[in-house]
Structure 1
Amino acid sequence: MRIALAQLNPTIGDISGNVDKIRQAAGKARRIGAGLVVSPELAVTGYPPRDLLCRKDFLERVKRALEEDIAPLSNEIAILVGAPVRGTEVPGEERSTAPDFLFNAALLYAGGKQIGRQDKSLLPNYDVFEESRYFRPAGRRIPVQLGEWSLGLTICEDIWNDKDYWNRQLYEVDPVEELVARGVDLLVNISASPYHYGKIRLRVDMLRSLARKHGRVIIYVNQVGGNDELIFDGTSLAVDASGNVVCLAQSFKEDLLVLEVEQHGSRWILAETAAEAGPAPDRDKPAAAANNEGRLSPCGDLPARALPEEDISYVYRALVLGIADYMRKTGFRKALVGLSGGIDSSVTAALAAAALGPENVLGVSMPSRYSSPGSRYDARKLAENLGIAFREVPIEGMFSAFLEVMNQGGEPCGDLAEENIQARIRGNILMFISNREGYLTLTTGNKSEMAVGYCTLYGDMSGGLAVLADVPKVMVYQLARYINREREIIPHSVLVKPPSAELKPGQVDQDSLPPYEVLDAILQAYIEEEKPADEIAARGFDPDLVREVIRKVDRAEYKRRQAAPGLRVTSRAFGMGRRMPIAWRAG
């Protein structure tokens, strides 16, 4: 059987647009000679649809799309598609005998009708996931028949519960074990697995282990693209029964893979979505390796892609995709970045230029009396290196007016309020340009600053998307060095000067914060690993410093609650995956 893996980038709620993507992928797969095309989890709606699933009209549109678009399309090629389905727990059961629930389903269509269905069994309800809010878990797991093939259909989390790989189980049910015990020929997983640094390596390793354990081919199809805070990497793949990865889709791009699996041997054929499909390959051509049960092996002249070795380039590509999709899916074409001459705004501007094209990015420098000549030069030089538009709007006049009014004609106090009013003036300027000229303002604060509240509400936090909100400061420097890998884009002086908000004379970040290498390590332990203070201090950190950092993190929750959505690239980001109260105290 020749199977196409359609790695798609859906837009949440755009049912007609998403169905068009499925239709195009199915057409290309059919021309290559595939008999089945597999799309990601909830491909019809995009993932996660969240409270759109509570709207009756939305679910009706999904139902119509399945009946009027997907089903007829399966007259040409069998289609496995992910969609929310309202109905009884057991397909075919009369509604009068069972309640009506919503399921996250994998639906198999062939010959113009639905011939199989498997609902998602394991509903994640942690971190960024809240599927129990919307769906009911499957009550049974049975093979789905397609011709001579018995398919074991699973959906995302269903494959993440192997007790031997994790040394624990989050759920009592293991859908993979049940399906293998029922004698399925191969396992298919449709997924919407969001990216964080290290996730691809972990996912590939887990799938290889699962294939070896059960002696089954595993076909894994993941969503790609940015949806609000989440970024999906794609990286769909097929693993043979020995745990070898034999075909691998691109990361952070739509892709189409076609592979051929034979029950007593196999061969695979790779086709790119960007290429027009040629004639179907010769089915009589011998496989390149010996026939082994459930084995996938190379065929023809198209070599398998190398397994991914994640490095900082993956974070860079994730952020570029996240910016591009957030802008496109919200209807914006141009981005605005306040350029301070520092590392964070420089990296943000470079990412925006890569995502949108430099012609669609405007950098605005807003110097005050405390802005150094070097910072003003660095901001302008960065814009020149990137090829983006640049403006300088000095804020001295506005700042002086504030000081005069708020100090009632007296001498300035030089306090925190006066420092922060500079950031708030700059925020107002950026939002004025945004309103008048149709730019989306990108905020530039990093995760380390956001964590401890080293940011100004209605100032540098003003904007529509927080690009670096989940990027620790040390990683920001790694991104800068990656951006400069071929030529100097971010001026060298930006990378070597001490970080500073430049809101008062001689100010540097380390006046208020520990060295970022230390701060980031403490923050990772507290936020991502959820370790208590004593365990963090046991790693060699000053206990008083650990407690002070934790205190700052907890006190800054009210700021983060008002921040722009931030792109997620670590295992625990601020935002939808971290639901902490504001008004609380440790007892």
Structure 2
Amino acid sequence: MSNLKIGGVTVNQTPLDWKGNLDNIHKAIREAKEKNIELLCFPELAITGYGSEDLFFSQWYPKKALQQLQALLPLAEDITICIGLPIRLEQQLYNCIAILEDQKLKGIVAKQFLAIDGVHYEFRWFSPWQAGKIATFDFFGTEVPLGDMVFDKKGITYGFEICEDAWRGDKRPGYRLKDRNVDLIFNPSASHFAMGKSKLREELVTESSIHLDATYFYVNLLGNEAGRMIFDGETLVAKNGKLYYKNPLLSFEDYQVHEYNMDHGLPPLPENSLDHDKNTEFTHAVTLALFDYMRKSRSAGFVLSLSGGADSSSIAVLVAEMVHRGCRLLGSHRFIEKAGLLGKVSTDASPKEIIGQVLTTAYQASENSSQDTLDSAQFLAKSLGASFHHWNISEEVQSYSSKIETAIGRTLSWKEDDIALQNIQARVRAPIIWMLTNIKNALLLATSNRSEGDVGYATMDGDTSGSISPIAAVDKYFLLQWLQWAEEQLGYEGLAKVNALQPTAELRPQDQHQTDEQDLMPYSVIVDIEKLAIREYRKPADVYLILLEELDIPAPLLKNYVTKFFRLWARNQWKRERFAPSFHLDDFNVDPKTWCRFPILSGGFTEELAELDQLD
């Protein structure tokens, strides 16, 4: 095998940012040339960005992508460039990889299998390519082959599996590439981040190198590209079942160039060198997602209603860690510049000073708020360096309550009006925190988590209100242990008071001793029911019978928990439809716009719950 230096580029792109995207590509190619890389692969849809959504329907968008590709031709000298873009042929749109060489378009490979599960909706825009088929494409007057092809570079034959292509078992294109004796298979991907997914990719790449008898090179997109999905920028190289290269994930850079010599002579990576800690993955993913969301939306920072409880405190720490991690990865000056903070903080500002600029918090007390949560919020904000405000909403709550009492002709009471009296406190907090957000030209951070989304334990236009909901895709049980981890492992000592509190909404009078788990059920049980009911689509009776074997919970109590979950799930779909955009972080989520669709109006599992009730 000849000595061929190959490379992969991960890029943080943005739909419709044609200049910025092309600039990232240009810089990456120049760096690759400086490293003497001869064959360079970019990720899937790197020119446009994967998250272009219904822009793919248009005629002009793929055409403009072709113009961007044409602009790259002069750079394809002394290097072969493989890069992803959408291409329309005979009114069908295909997800393609273009191969540029000798300042010409050498050929185009089209994706054969489209992702249609979870956050992916590729069949909405693209058509799958037929295996073995080759057509011709008119590229500005030049006929170019398009389809299922292999290529050659210095005697090394190479081909492509584009993202989903590789996950189709015996049907995957890689087996046909093996039949054609390819030496190298590239997998340019736009594979969304999820905790634990990197380990699955490592297994895919190493096993592929055995089964397909080829060096397997995987390269993924990077960053919070378009708002919801996060790409981790993973680059992997495997040969003969051994992993030879893996990069640090979730970088704050605009692009990264990774090199690998086909005649490597390097030892494989030790298995114990690969870190798959979910707490670390979660932290790195959310901090990058927040950073990209802030800078791409051209916002000046974040505003947070900091209650002193687990949800809002976790978000405050994640914003602080965004700054700390960004400064470590980029250096303070580059972080400040990239975040759009030049002139707002000095270029040699400390991370704590930067946090004071980008994170504004407010504790909004009601008559039912405790000194413990005030102390918790204030202690945390001070330890982080965040700006902290404290005001009381009792006057506003009383104003609304008195008006409605006059209108209905009676006094409100906790016995008759429990939900209304709780919700008005949460809703009254929204207008003033939004006002502060507008004044700051910032993003308001909503604080709902996935467990609350499951059962509707959130006040619409109250704690659900926000520009972005960073933790809406993770469950409360995970968050509670993450907060302990963040205090101990990341050194956020300001979480000490938060971690000493029992989660509570603090919306009822304090003598009622309200807690979240008394209102609902243990958060660990919500996770167990959710997995079976929502992720695995099981009916109530099946969920109950499975958990009866797995959990040490008395049968009548477990039956009540399962019944409550299904009733609340069905009743609260309208809330999930209205939640602020959230990041996809776990192996699934309950966001109806990106994963889990459920009818807003339904019979509410009436017959299914009656079946459950009949079980012993």
1:56 and 2:54 are equivalent in the alignment: no
CA contact under 8 A between 2:310 and 2:498: conserved in structure 1?
A: yes
Alpha-carbon spacing, 1:159–1:307, altered in 2? closer, same or farther (3 Å): same
Q: Which moved more, 1:226-235 or 1:489-498?
A: 489-498
User: 1:209-228 to 2 correspondence within 5 Å?
Assistant: 209-227=207-225, 228=227
Which structure 2 residue ranges, 5 or more long, are not aligned? 133-147, 324-353, 552-557, 608-616
Task: Determine which of 516, 532, 542 is the counterpart of 1:535.
Answer: 542
Per the alignment, residue 293 of structure 1 pairs with: none
CA contact under 8 A between 1:385 and 1:490: conserved in structure 2?
A: yes
Task: Determine which of 24, 30, 34 is the counterpart of 2:33.
Answer: 30
Structure 1 residue 342 displacement after superposition: 0.4
Deviation by residue 1:116-161 (Cα, 9 ceiling, x = unmatched):
2110000111211111111111123331233422111121000001
| Richer in helix (by share) | 2
CA contact under 8 A between 2:474 and 2:589: conserved in structure 1?
A: no
Per the alignment, residue 126 of structure 2 pairs with: 135
How many Å separate the matches in 2 of 1:310 and 1:528? 22
How many Å separate the matches in 2 of 1:46 and 1:533? 41
User: 1:301-450 to 2 correspondence within 5 Å?
Assistant: 306-356=273-323, 357-358=354-355, 359-408=357-406, 410-414=410-414, 415-450=418-453
Give the secondary-structure state (helix, strand or coil) at the position aligned to 1:466.
coil
Deviation by residue 1:314-342 (Cα, 9 ceiling, x = unmatched):
11111111111112222213100101110
Give the secondary-structure state (helix, strand or coil) at the position aligned to 2:107.
strand
1:231 and 2:230 are equivalent in the alignment: yes
How many Å separate the matches in 2 of 1:191 and 1:373? 50
Task: Determine which of 187, 190, 210 is the counterpart of 1:192.
Answer: 190
Task: Determine which of 73, 83, 86 is the counterpart of 1:84.
Answer: 86
Structure 1 residue 303 displacement after superposition: 9.8
Structure 1 residue 76 displacement after superposition: 4.2
Structure 1 residue 552 displacement after superposition: 1.0
CA contact under 8 A between 1:386 and 1:489: conserved in structure 2?
A: no
**TM-score using structure 2 length:** 0.83
1:4 and 2:7 are equivalent in the alignment: yes
Give the secondary-structure state (helix, strand or coil) at the position aligned to 1:457.
coil
Per the alignment, residue 523 of structure 2 pairs with: 516
Give the secondary-structure state (helix, strand or coil) at the position aligned to 1:561.
helix
Structure 1 residue 180 displacement after superposition: 1.0
1:13 and 2:16 are equivalent in the alignment: yes
State the AA in 2 paired with 1:83.
Answer: L
How many Å separate the matches in 1 of 2:38 and 2:270? 22
Per the alignment, residue 560 of structure 2 pairs with: 544
CA contact under 8 A between 2:45 and 2:86: conserved in structure 1?
A: yes
Cα RMSD (Å): 1.9
CA contact under 8 A between 2:163 and 2:189: conserved in structure 1?
A: yes
Deviation by residue 1:209-230 (Cα, 9 ceiling, x = unmatched):
1211222110000111113111
How many Å separate the matches in 1 of 2:447 and 2:272? 35
Per the alignment, residue 279 of structure 1 pairs with: none
Per the alignment, residue 584 of structure 1 pairs with: 602
1:72 and 2:39 are equivalent in the alignment: no
CA contact under 8 A between 2:183 and 2:213: conserved in structure 1?
A: no
Per the alignment, residue 107 of structure 2 pairs with: 116
Per the alignment, residue 151 of structure 2 pairs with: 144
CA contact under 8 A between 2:7 and 2:41: conserved in structure 1?
A: yes
How many Å separate the matches in 2 of 1:127 and 1:468? 18
Per the alignment, residue 274 of structure 1 pairs with: none
State the AA in 2 paired with 1:106.
Answer: I
Alpha-carbon spacing, 1:528–1:304, altered in 2? closer, same or farther (3 Å): closer
CA contact under 8 A between 1:117 and 1:144: conserved in structure 2?
A: no
State the aligned residue count: 531
How many Å separate the matches in 2 of 1:481 and 1:47? 35
Per the alignment, residue 92 of structure 1 pairs with: none
Structure 1 residue 510 displacement after superposition: 2.1
How many Å separate the matches in 2 of 1:230 and 1:351? 17
1:257 and 2:261 are equivalent in the alignment: no
CA contact under 8 A between 1:249 and 1:255: conserved in structure 2?
A: no
Structure 1 residue 22 displacement after superposition: 1.3
How many Å separate the matches in 2 of 1:526 and 1:224? 32
**TM-score using structure 1 length:** 0.87
1:205 and 2:203 are equivalent in the alignment: yes
Deviation by residue 1:524-575 (Cα, 9 ceiling, x = unmatched):
2222333332332222252332132122112211001011011111111122
State the AA in 2 paired with 1:411.
Answer: T
Identity value in percent = 29
How many Å separate the matches in 2 of 1:256 and 1:305? 25
Give the secondary-structure state (helix, strand or coil) at the position aligned to 1:497.
coil
Structure 1 residue 497 displacement after superposition: 1.9
Deviation by residue 1:204-254 (Cα, 9 ceiling, x = unmatched):
1122112112221100001111131111112211001x2111011111114
Give the secondary-structure state (helix, strand or coil) at the position aligned to 1:366.
strand
State the AA in 1 paired with 2:244.
Answer: V
How many Å separate the matches in 1 of 2:420 and 2:362? 23
